Amino acid sequence: MRPSDLNRPVPRASQRLHLPQDSSDGTASAVRVGLRAGQYVTCEPHELPFGELVLTDSSERHPHALDWQSERPVPLLKNVLRLTAPNAGFMTGPGTNSYLVGDAASGFAVIDPGPDHAAHLGRLFQAAGGDIRAIVCTHSHQDHSPGAQPLQALCEQHGGGKPPILGLPSASTAQPQHFFRPDRALYDGERLALTGADGIAHTLRAVFTPGHAANHVCLVLEEDGLLFCGDHILSGSTTIINPPDGDMSAYLESLAKLDALCTQEHIGFALPAHGCVLTGVHGVIERLTAHRLAREAKVLAALRADPQGDLDSWVVQAYGDVPSAAWPAARRSLLAHVERLRKLGMV
């Protein structure tokens, strides 16, 4: 982490859960305190929960719980709640994070309603007080978008109107189970604004980021400097790039696009669809890009050493440092690297 990452702009004070702690001794930014299993734990900048503890300004006085659960929404800011779907697994980690942006005065936008899970959708509806103004899907994968229409129907059933389902339609390259059609397609750079009678605004801006899926979209909460990054950037793992809907070159280009955006606009936090809040976004993207290119170098070496091989033989050489149980998933990203190398004329 660069020193400047600890001095980045923080979210507007009016939406912080607590007033920032006194850091006059110079140590508050280097170590954060949270709760896990009811016990105080400390996290340093290199540890995954650190960003979440910074965003919530967690301390012994106001400790933020780090335990994953699906029963209650977790406040990250006064205008941002996270509710994790009960679909934990190898591909989903602790589960899909659904986010609620807004407040009682403005109503709420739901980002990634998740799977069609009645209890989860009911909790989202209740957390929003029934006032959901928009449902936005970052992409069409089964753990992100199937809950959109049932949640919309739930709002209608309770007289809350029909919030539009927004996002990008699945491309022709998507698998049948990932079919998705929003009520309206977003355009790159489009702003979705929620404003209450108190004048406080919550503005989400769409940023097209193809790569993990052809229809992947990230969202920037402009007033608070937050990036909702869907599956493009994950916490503690790398996302799968599965051709033909996934494209490694597009993924790397989208990473560079996000890096430039976050640097230019001083966006300090990334909220992924799986895992905890990330801080030092430039460093995260830098390490992720370096990891992808290092893996690609291993793929290239495997192809050159065994030009008559196939994905099963190449994965052993290129992904020998990961458990073999992960190789079926790794084969998909391996194929994406192979296709990229071939398009670049390197094999």
CATH number among 3.50.50.60, 3.60.15.10, 3.40.50.10710, 3.40.50.720, domain 69-277: 3.60.15.10
119-140 confidence digits (pLDDT tens): 999 999 999 999 999 999 999 9
Q: Are 201 and 243 in contact (CB under 8 A)?
A: no
Residues of the chain with pLDDT under 70: 1-10, 20-29
pLDDT of residue 22: 53
Nearest to 113 by CA among 62, 167, 74: 167
Query: What are the CA-CA distances from residue 9 to residues 171, 180, 202, 266 (Å)?
Result: 37, 36, 17, 7
pLDDT of residue 90: 87
The number of helices, as runs of H, and strands, as runs of E, in the chain is 7, 16
Q: State the Cα–Cα distance between residues 191 and 12, nearest whole angstrom.
A: 19
Q: Where are the domains of the chain?
A: 1-67, 69-277, 296-343
157-211 confidence digits (pLDDT tens): 998 889 999 999 999 999 999 999 999 999 999 999 999 888 889 999 999 999 9
Q: Are 229 and 279 in contact (CB under 8 A)?
A: no
pLDDT of residue 1: 29
Count of Cβ atoms closer than 10 Å to residue 330 Cβ: 20
Please give the single-letter amino acid code of residue 80.
Answer: V
pLDDT of residue 236: 84
Q: State the Cα–Cα distance between residues 68 and 71, nearest whole angstrom.
A: 10
Per the listing, tokens 């940023």 go with 207
Q: State the Cα–Cα distance between residues 266 and 54, nearest whole angstrom.
A: 16
Retrieve residue 8's tokens: 């980045």
